[in-house]
Each structure stands twice: as C-alpha cells, then as structure tokens.
Chains A and B, each alone.
Chain A
C-alpha cells in the first residue's frame, strides 16, 4: 500500500500538469480571427478607417483606435460600439460634439449604413460591413441613388454638379470644386449627401463659409435657392435641370 501511495504522487503531478499546461498553452494560443465590422471614409482625404473591434474609440489622443490630429477633435471624442441591434456612437464628453447627418447627438445615437458623422472638422461617411460576407465588398451595391444638385457661380454662371456622397470645396488640388484664390482655404467646405439631402460643413478656421449671410458653424441642410459664399465667391444651390 505504501508503495502504491509512493508512486501515486508521480501520477498526481503528471495529471495536474497535463491539465494545467494544456489549458495554459491553449489559452496563450487562442485568438479570435480579425474581422472588419464597419469602416469610416474620410470625405476630405478619402482615407478609410476599418473597425475590427466591437468598440472603436475615436479622438486626438494617443490611445484611441482611430486618431485624428486636429485641434477641433477632442482627445477622447467618441466611441462607436456594435450592439445586437446595430451600431451606436457615443459622445465621450467631446468639446465640439458629434454630429450624425447634421444633427448633434445627445450622448448616444444609432448609426446606419451611409450616415455622415462629423467629429469637429473631420467628416466621415460610415459604412457597415456586409453581414454575410463580413467585409466591405458590397458597399457599392447597397449605395442609395441620389438626385443631382448643382452649384451655380453667381458671377460667371458656371455650374458645378454635386454628385455621389460628397463634394469638397477649396484651394487644394483634387477638390471637386477648386477655387484658386488666396482668400480661400485649402479645404474650405464639404457638401455631404444624406439620403438625398445635401449638407454643408465648414472646414476652414480662417475663412468663414456663409449660408444666406449666416456663418456655418455646424453641418446645415441645404434647400434649393440657398446662397453660399466662400470668401468673395458666391454660389446658388439648386436642382440640376
């Protein structure tokens, strides 16, 4: 009996180690596969930011998942979270607030595919990954169709059609409406399309963007006949004939 007990201690050690080491190795190796749940597309630069976590923090701070080095963006500006019934955006006490389709949110708001989200001067388009594919392949297929609007230069009479999701205005090359004048900012403004409604966002700190004589301080929906002024340049917003 004593001999059995003597050898039992080896067996006990072997059994415990088999469990603990196996479980420890498994725990150290296990890792969920990366998957993209949604993405933000920067309307000014066209950069894309994939969201591969259930919660994605956005801000100027070093610890955020999506980082914008702009003074108008707070260090911890917002969090986008995936819940059972879809995506939500939380304003994490940012100074400038979070705007979804031009409306300032109060603490949290539901996000839908194609929404425009503004964090300070950063304006993004939000896209949900295709549930079946688990990626962003099908975004173009589910884009809604938009009516075309046009900006007409009041002085020259030239038309600038607004098409697709957004249009940029500024001195910068590559802007949809490029105005090569010194009193216009490189990125003066952005027009975004929300389910057929066009919104105007001011992007310039120095040169005010005026809508019907009023400075644009937050994303504002446009109506046919509105007059928009960038520096000395005035445009009329209306439907394309």
Chain B
C-alpha cells in the first residue's frame, strides 16, 4: 500500500466545518428574521437540505473512505453557501430549485471522482463524451431560441438548462484523456478538431463568453499535453485573425461590446449594469452593508452576472477579496500537485479545471467593473444557475483527483 506522505498540514476538518456551519446558520437566521412566513419555510428547507448534504459528504469521506484533506471541498461549500444565501435573499422562491441543482452537482462531483479512479475507463469514455458534447451543442444551436442575446438555453418541460456549462466538464475530460500519446504534437490534431467543433458552435450561438472560456481551456490543455509553445502561438494568431475577420464581416458581433470602456458615458443605457455594480460595490466598504440590505439586488441579473457586486455590497470587500484568493489558491494547488499526481491525466484535468474557474471568475469580475467587455459568464460556485453550479461541482472532481490522497493507487479501480 502506498501511504501518502506530505509536507504541510491539512486544516482541522472539525473546526473548519463548525465555522462554515456557523456562517451558514447566521445567514439563514438573518434571512428568516427578515423574510415573510412563506419565505421563512423556504429558507429553512434550503439551508437544512444544504447542511445535511454537507455533513453527509464530510462524514462519508472522512469515516468511510478515510480521507484527510478537505480544503478544496470546504472552499466550495462555503462559496456555494454564500451564493445560496444571496439567492434565498433576492429570489426566495428560487432557493429550493438552486438547492436541488447544488445537490445534483455534489452527486456529480462524487460520481465523477469514482469514474476518474479508473484511467482505462476514462480513456474508453473519451470518444463517447466528445461526440455527445458536440451533438449536444449542435442540438442547442438548432433548437434553442434567443435568450438575452444568445442561443444557449434549452427548455425542457419547466426546466431550463445551459448545455455549454455541462460540456465544459466533458471538454476537459476529453482533452486530458491522452496517456498513450502524451507529449506528442501529433496527438493534438483530434483535440483541435474537437475544440474547433465546440468553440465554433458556441460562436454561432453568440455565447462569446463561454467560447472564450473554452478557448482559454483549450490553450491550457494543449500546452500541458504537448509543451509546444510554437503551436500555441500559431493557434492564438489564427484565433486573433479569425476574430478580426468576424468583426469586419459581422459588425453586429462588435455591437455586443460597444459599451465596453464607456460604461459611465452610457450611464442609463448600455452601461447601466456596470455603473450600478461599481457604485454599490463601493458603498459596501470593508464589511458590507449586511445580507439583504443592498441595493444592487434590484438590478437585472443581480444573482447571476452581477453577483460579485452583490457580494462586495452586502458582505464587503474583504470577503470578496478572499473569494478571489480562493480561486487563485485552487489553481496554484493544482499546478504544484500536478508534478506529484498519479497520472498526467489528473494533472492536466486539475490544472485545466482550476484555470477555467479562475479565468471565468476574472471575466465575471472584470466584466461587471468595465475593465473587460461584459460577457455574461457566472462567478464559479457563487452565481445562481443550475447548470453553472452543477458544472462547477463536477469540475471540482478534477481538482480533487490531482491529490495523491484521493486515490490510493495509480488510477486503477481496486
């Protein structure tokens, strides 16, 4: 048996879990004290269900599987809790729906960890995953209608899903499953075709933010697979050229970003959301105005695209900075541990997933503050949205896999 020895100490799970629980209980009590009777029950169900899932996961992982390190999950549970609190505060009637999506995401996180244990199984699943991903995006392109300027939502019965969020998981899975052709430039051809299919479809759907995230993830995976900077420079040059051509021949694409850098000049029109985010974020100060006391909550997409502004306003800048630090910590952790991972598959998966989250967070934060064009992407774990939260939890399984302690043996089912 390969006992994992490490330098540095894991956090004390009991103490940290108690702190996380206390945080969530205070949020729940604050919302209950402010809410109407109907909403109080919703808050109780939401936080009750969430705490149950949280404890079930930690007890199962610690006592049954004997795991030790839980930093990654603690961060995810805390961030998801902050998102749930804001959702329950702004849209109490959507809180239970968000909880259900979170629970599905946590189940997906556990299921993906089980699948990732067996590298041979992962290698076999990569082609079905690739075809399913491209098929799902093509289906969305054909059958989805325009929602907020993009064709990225599917409505099935009373449910709405954003397939591109789930394809993010498959994109990393397919891109990283390449053991037989590791470090070989020749191995990139199929992945380039797959990435071209995904990114091209997203572009046709006018989902430019997600397309940009996929492209960035593609660069990370390609670099980790081949280590060839020249190929990546060529790909970037081709992408820039393609982007310029699209802007020249399809001017309406450029119009989507017309207000970028001019938010204050378009205070009440195209720069409405950005200017409000900046005003209300600034008013939050170091410790915020308190949960449920903000003004940004009344602006459209407050719990999705603008949630970073709501966090700044209601929870304060210090907490907002700590949230950003946690994305950076996840990436640094993945990079550091990739050297010691049980397989290059896990190393590529973890670095790609953590880089994707950080890049997405940067697009969200800089977008709402008018530093970058606003692309409508979510803040990982915090923003409201079922597909988004499910995909974030599943991506977390990739980060978890890089830790040697997660699987005792080198990627083989025991």
Q: Closest approach, in angstroms, between the C-beta of B409 and any C-beta of chain A?
A: 4
A233 in the interface (beta carbon within 8 A):
no
**Please, what's the 1-or-0 string for B283-297, where 1 marks a CB less than 8 Å from any CB in chain A?**
000111111000000
In the complex, identify which listed stretch (B8-16, B86-94, B195-203) lies at the interface while the others stay far away: B8-16
Are B289 and A9 in touch, CB under 8 angstroms? Answer: yes
Are A82 and B410 in touch, CB under 8 angstroms? Answer: yes
What are 10 A-B interface contacts by the 8 Å CB criterion?
A9-B287, A23-B75, A24-B322, A28-B333, A33-B7, A55-B179, A76-B182, A76-B183, A84-B412, A108-B180
On whether A93 and B181 interact (CB within 8 A), knowing A17-B322, A83-B411, the answer reads: yes
Are B412 and A15 in touch, CB under 8 angstroms? Answer: no
Residues in chain B within 8 A of chain A (CB atoms):
4-11, 16, 19-20, 22-23, 26-27, 30, 33, 69, 71-72, 74-75, 78, 82, 179-187, 227, 286-291, 315-316, 318-319, 322-323, 325-326, 328-330, 332-333, 336-337, 339-344, 404, 409-412, 414
Q: Closest approach, in angstroms, between the C-beta of B192 and any C-beta of chain A?
A: 17
CA distance A27 to B33 in the complex (A): 36
B-side contacts of A133, CB under 8 Å: none
A142 in the interface (beta carbon within 8 A):
no
Contact of B326 among A23, A32, A35, A83 (CB under 8 A): A23
Q: Closest approach, in angstroms, between the C-beta of B123 and any C-beta of chain A?
A: 12
Interface residues of A in 55-94 (CB under 8 A from B): 55, 57, 59, 61-64, 75-76, 79, 81-85, 90, 92-93
Are B78 and A16 in touch, CB under 8 angstroms? Answer: yes
Residue of B72, B227, B288 with most partner-chain A CB within 10 A: B227
Contact of A5 among B7, B9, B30, B319 (CB under 8 A): B30
Tell me the number of A-to-B contacts counted with CB atoms below 8 Å. 180
A-side contacts of B16, CB under 8 Å: 19, 22-23
A-B pairs, top 5 by smallest CB distance, nearest first, are: A63-B227, A24-B329, A29-B8, A76-B183, A84-B412
Interface residues of A in 4-27 (CB under 8 A from B): 5-6, 8-13, 15-27
Q: Closest approach, in angstroms, between the C-beta of B302 and any C-beta of chain A?
A: 19
Contact of A13 among B6, B9, B287, B410 (CB under 8 A): B287
CA distance A203 to B236 in the complex (A): 42
CA distance A20 to B16 in the complex (A): 10
Q: Closest approach, in angstroms, between the C-beta of A108 and any C-beta of chain B?
A: 7
Are B227 and A54 in touch, CB under 8 angstroms? Answer: no
Contact of B180 among A29, A83, A107 (CB under 8 A): A107
Q: Closest approach, in angstroms, between the C-beta of B335 and any C-beta of chain A?
A: 11
Are B182 and A33 in touch, CB under 8 angstroms? Answer: no
Are A83 and B325 in touch, CB under 8 angstroms? Answer: no
A-side contacts of B181, CB under 8 Å: 92-93
Are A81 and B343 in touch, CB under 8 angstroms? Answer: yes
A-side contacts of B409, CB under 8 Å: 83-84
Are A9 and B316 in touch, CB under 8 angstroms? Answer: yes
CA distance A123 to B98 in the complex (A): 59
Q: Closest approach, in angstroms, between the C-beta of B68 and any C-beta of chain A?
A: 10
B-side contacts of A85, CB under 8 Å: 412
Q: Across the two chains, which residue of chain B brings its CB closest to A90?
A: B180
**Known contacts A8-B26, A33-B5; can you find 16 more A-B pairs with CB under 8 A?**
A5-B290, A9-B315, A11-B26, A13-B319, A21-B322, A24-B322, A24-B325, A27-B332, A30-B71, A31-B6, A32-B5, A54-B342, A57-B183, A84-B412, A85-B412, A92-B181
Q: Closest approach, in angstroms, between the C-beta of A129 and any C-beta of chain B?
A: 11
Are A81 and B23 in touch, CB under 8 angstroms? Answer: no
A1 in the interface (beta carbon within 8 A):
yes
CA distance A23 to B179 in the complex (A): 31
Q: Across the two chains, which residue of chain B brings its CB closest to A15?
A: B23
B-side contacts of A31, CB under 8 Å: 6-8, 336-337, 340
Residue of A30, A63, A75 with most partner-chain B CB within 10 A: A30
CA distance A10 to B121 in the complex (A): 48
Residue of A9, A17, A53 with most partner-chain B CB within 10 A: A9
Are B410 and A54 in touch, CB under 8 angstroms? Answer: yes
A-side contacts of B69, CB under 8 Å: 30
On whether A76 and B78 interact (CB within 8 A), knowing A12-B23, A29-B8, A32-B404, the answer reads: no
Are A29 and B326 in touch, CB under 8 angstroms? Answer: no
Are A16 and B343 in touch, CB under 8 angstroms? Answer: no
Q: Across the two chains, which residue of chain A brings its CB closest to B183?
A: A76
B-side contacts of A23, CB under 8 Å: 11, 16, 71-72, 74-75, 326, 329
CA distance A84 to B1 in the complex (A): 9
CA distance A180 to B68 in the complex (A): 62
Q: Closest approach, in angstroms, between the C-beta of B260 and any C-beta of chain A?
A: 31
Q: Across the two chains, which residue of chain A brings its CB closest to B16?
A: A19
CA distance A13 to B404 in the complex (A): 32
On whether A79 and B4 interact (CB within 8 A), knowing A16-B319, A32-B340, the answer reads: no
On whether A92 and B414 interact (CB within 8 A), knowing A8-B290, A13-B318, A17-B322, the answer reads: no
Are A16 and B329 in touch, CB under 8 angstroms? Answer: no
Are A61 and B183 in touch, CB under 8 angstroms? Answer: yes
CA distance A8 to B182 in the complex (A): 52
Are B71 and A27 in touch, CB under 8 angstroms? Answer: yes
Are B288 and A32 in touch, CB under 8 angstroms? Answer: no
Q: Across the two chains, which residue of chain A brings its CB closest to B27?
A: A12
Are A15 and B22 in touch, CB under 8 angstroms? Answer: yes
A-side contacts of B344, CB under 8 Å: 55, 79
Are B325 and A20 in touch, CB under 8 angstroms? Answer: yes
On whether A16 and B182 interact (CB within 8 A), knowing A1-B33, A9-B316, A23-B75, the answer reads: no
CA distance A61 to B230 in the complex (A): 14
On whether A30 and B8 interact (CB within 8 A), knowing A76-B183, A85-B412, the answer reads: yes
Are A29 and B179 in touch, CB under 8 angstroms? Answer: no
CA distance A22 to B10 in the complex (A): 9
